[in-house]
Amino acid sequence: MLSIIKLRLLRLKDDVLVFVLMTGMALVLTAVFGISFNTYRPEIMIVDEDKSNYSEMLIDELKTNNSFNFIVTDMDEASKSVQGGNVSVAMVVYDGFEESLISGSEVSLGFIKIKDDTMILTLQQAVTSIASKMAGAVKVADITSDYISSQDNMTDTEAVRAKTYAGVMDSWKYKNPMYVISTIAHTKNQSGYDGMKHTMIGFTLFFSMYTMVFSIGTILSDKQYKTWERMLISPVSKTSILGGSMVVAYLAGVVQMGVLILCGNYLLGVDWGNSMFGVLMVAAAFIFAVTSLGLMMSGFVKTQAQLGAIVPVVLTSTSMLGGCMWPLDIVNNKALLFLAELTPQKWAMQGIEGIASKGMGFEAAVFPTIVLMGMGAVFFIAGVKVLKTE
C-alpha cells in the first residue's frame, strides 16, 4: 500500500492547480458574500399620504428596525422604483391613518409589490406589530386623558394625551409585558445566525469536495491509460490499491479543509467556536464521507471526462440542498428538507455551525459525526463492490 500512496502523492502534483483554485475561490467568495450578507439592508420606500403626527411616528418607529433601510418618497417615485426592480416593495400610509387610529377603526396600509417573498412578509409583520402598538397606545392615552380631564377641568387634555401615548410606546421598548427566564451558555462567540460564518462553513465544505472527488478520481485516469490493469496483475492487491487511493484523497481533503479553516480564522476573522476539536471531528467525518462518495462515483462512470461532467452537477445540487448556499431555516418545503437529510453537507453544516454560530459545545458534533461516518461507510461499500465487479 505504501507504494500506491507514494504513486498517488506524486500524481497529486497534477492537481495542485485545482487545489489552489478551489481554496482561493472559497476564500474570495466567503469574503464577498459574507460581508454582503452581514451589511445588506434592503431598501423600503414609504409614501406618506396622511402627513400627520401619527404617520410620522409610524415612520420613525419603522426606522428603528435595523433590518431595513426606509426611504420616504412620493407615490410616482415609489411606483417606478418597484416596477423597475430597484426596490422589492413600497409601503403606503393612506390619507386618514391618524383619524383611523384616533377613532379606533381599522387602519389600512398599502404595499406596492411585484411578488411576495420572505423579506416582504417580515416587513408586513413588523408594520402590523407597530401599528397595533400605536393603536393600543392611542386608546390608553384617550382613556387616561378623558379620566384626568373629568377630575380636573383645568388639565391640558392634549398634553396629557401626548405624554401618555409617549409613555405607553416607551414601555414597549424597555418594559416588556412578558418576562422570559432562561439559562444560556456563556461563550466567547455570539450565538445566532452569522452571514460570514455560514458562508465560510458552506464554501469550505463545497469547494473542498471538488479536490477530494477529483483526487480519488485518478482511478479513472489509470483505467484510461491502462495503468489500472497493470496494477491489478502486479503483486499489489486490489485492496491496497483502493486503500492507498483513499488515503491520499483523504489527506488532500484534510490539507485543504485545514488551510480553509486557518485562513478563515486568521484572514477573515471567523471564530470557530469553543470546541475546535468538535469542528475538526465533524470535518474529518465529512472528508471520509465525500472521499467515499468520490470512490462510488468513480465506479459508476467510465472516464475522467464523464466524472468531470457529473461532479459539478452532483456537488452543486447537494450543496444547495444541504444548506451550504443558504440557511435551511428559511426552507419550508418538506420534500426539500427531507432530501437535505440525505446529503453529507447538511450534517456537516449542522455540526460545525452548531459550534461556531450557536454557542454549542462538543456535544453538537457527536450525532452529525455518526451520521457522516455511516454515509461514508455506505458510499465506500458501494464503490468497492462496483469496482470489484469490473
Angle (CA) 305-310-316 rounded to 5° is: 135
Cell of 383: 464503490
More confident residue, 62 or 367: 367
7 confidence band (pLDDT: 50, 70, 90): low
Strand 109-113 vs strand 69-73: parallel, antiparallel, or unpaired? unpaired
**What is the mean predicted confidence (pLDDT) over 334-352?**
92
**Average pLDDT taken over every residue of the chain:** 78
User: What is the structure's pLDDT at 110?
Assistant: 87
Pairing relation of β-strands 43-48 and 69-73?
parallel
Q: Which domains does the chain have, with CATH numbers?
A: 2-37+193-388 (no CATH), 41-174 (3.40.190.10)
Tell me, what's the pLDDT at 189? 45
Q: For 176-189, what is each residue's pLDDT tens digit? A: 544 444 444 444 44
CB-based contact 304:359 (threshold 8 Å) = no
Least confident of 5-14, 99-108, 113-122: 5-14
Amino acid making up residue 238: K
3-state secondary structure (DSSP) of residue 191: coil
- State the number of CA atoms in the 13 A half-sphere of 354 facing the CB: 19
What pLDDT shows up at residue 318?
Answer: 92
3-state secondary structure of 186: coil
Q: Average pLDDT of 200-225?
A: 78
List, for residues 154-171, the tens digit of each pLDDT value: 667 777 777 877 777 776
**pLDDT exceeds 60 at position 210:** yes
Position 186 scores a pLDDT of: 42
Q: What pLDDT shows up at residue 282? A: 93
Q: Is the pLDDT at 138 greater than 60, yes or no?
A: yes
The reported pTM is 0.60
- For 36-92, the pLDDT digits (tens) are 555 557 788 999 998 888 888 888 888 887 778 888 999 999 898 888 888 888 999
Of residues 259 and 226, more confidently modeled: 259
Measured between alpha carbons, how far is 80 from 19 in angstroms, rounded to an integer?
A: 47
Residue 81 to residue 84: CA distance in whole angstroms: 5
